[in-house]
Chain A
Amino acid sequence: MIKVNKEINERVCQGDVIRSVDYLESITESDGTVEISRVIYPLIVVLTQDCDLEQDFTYRLDPQRTQGNCLVSVLVAPLYNAEHVFAGEHLLDLDIKCSPINRKATEGDYLRKNERPRYYYLDFPPETGLVPCVVDFKHYFSVNVEHLRLLKQSYFVCKVAELFREALSFRFASYLARVGLPTMAEVPSSSGDSPAL
């Protein structure tokens, strides 16, 4: 089980868990009609480094300073109900069907133990009212800093404690930095180079 902090900070912090955050999919205009498509995520966790967020907040509000260290946006990842993920139904309302994960088999056990690089399993303490959640490192998006700060005032849930948020960020960075190597069958025989071992 992870530890959390429920004291709300005025600025956005790394590890913040915030409800009802929207992702702007597209804005199109055709024949005089504007169409705005958004996806509402019930729960997200902030991934951006805390020192960057702190600097952004300090510099943004101080007219005596330059704003060169301000951020354009905050990186966040959706938190999915773990049971929905096991059932492969967490994106069903977006018409996306995922493969179920057998929670009783090795694949489900590995996910809960955070031994699958793609996922991060968060078992929240009971006082948060949150059930176990899963971050899928293939899913992340950015939100305008000020927009998220205002959302946080109404929809803050808790903040993942420092050690656990660092573990989450480290795992995310590692997953993004992975190098996808071709399988041997996909390497053209005439390429000359041996695939890296």
Chain B
Amino acid sequence: MPTNDQPFDPQYGGGQATGDAAAEHPTEPQVPTLEPEVKDYPRGKPYRVVIRARIAHD
């Protein structure tokens, strides 16, 4: 079960990091917790994007 402590894998939001991220967050055995905090992926919530564009006139 992924937790907020795990390095972020941009593909799925969990798993193992590589490169510099791995060095900063060395892999450690994940200890299951009974009452985890708000968990990770999907960490984001639905959000709105609005695009406005002027119609060009010749």
Which residues of A are in contact with B by a Cβ distance under 8 Å?
A: 19, 22, 25, 29, 32-43, 78-84, 87, 89-94, 126, 128-133, 157
Contacts and interface: CB of A to CB of B under 8 A. Distances in A.
Interface of B: 1-2, 9, 11-15, 38-55, 57
Contacts, number: 103
Contacts of A41: 46
Contacts of A35: 50-52
Contacts of A78: 46
9 contacts: A25-B48, A33-B52, A37-B51, A40-B47, A42-B43, A90-B45, A93-B48, A129-B12, A129-B14
Given A129-B2, A129-B9, A89 B52 contact: no
A33 B55 contact: yes
Nearest to A32: B55
A122 B49 CA distance: 28
A141 to B, nearest CB: 11
A128 B54 contact: no
Contacts of A94: 45-48
A32 B39 CA distance: 45
Select the residue from B11, B38, B54, B55 with max chain A CB neighbours within 10 A.
B38
Given A35-B51, A129-B9, A131-B41, 17 more contacts: A29-B55, A32-B57, A33-B55, A37-B51, A38-B51, A39-B49, A40-B46, A42-B46, A80-B42, A81-B39, A82-B39, A90-B46, A91-B46, A92-B45, A94-B47, A129-B12, A132-B39
A29 to B, nearest CB: 7
A42 B43 CA distance: 8
A42 B42 contact: yes
